[in-house]
Amino acid sequence: GEDVEQSLFLSVREGDSSVINCTYTDSSSTYLYWYKQEPGAGLQLLTYIFSNMDMKQDQRLTVLLNKKDKHLSLRIADTQTGDSAIYFCAEKDGDKIIFGKGTRLHILP
Minimum distance of another protein from residue 93's CB (angstroms): 9
State the DSSP string of 25-86: --TT--EEEEEEE-TTS-EEEEEEEETT-SEEEETTEEEEEETTTTEEEEEESS--GGG-EE
Minimum distance of another protein from residue 57's CB (angstroms): 16
Minimum distance of another protein from residue 92's CB (angstroms): 7
Length of the chain: 109
Q: Quick check: 42 binds another protein (CB under 8 A)? A: yes
Instruction: Pick from 62, 64, 97, 104 the residue near another protein by CB under 8 A.
Output: 97
What is the binding site for another protein (CB under 8 A)? 30-31, 33, 40-45, 48, 50, 88, 92, 95-102
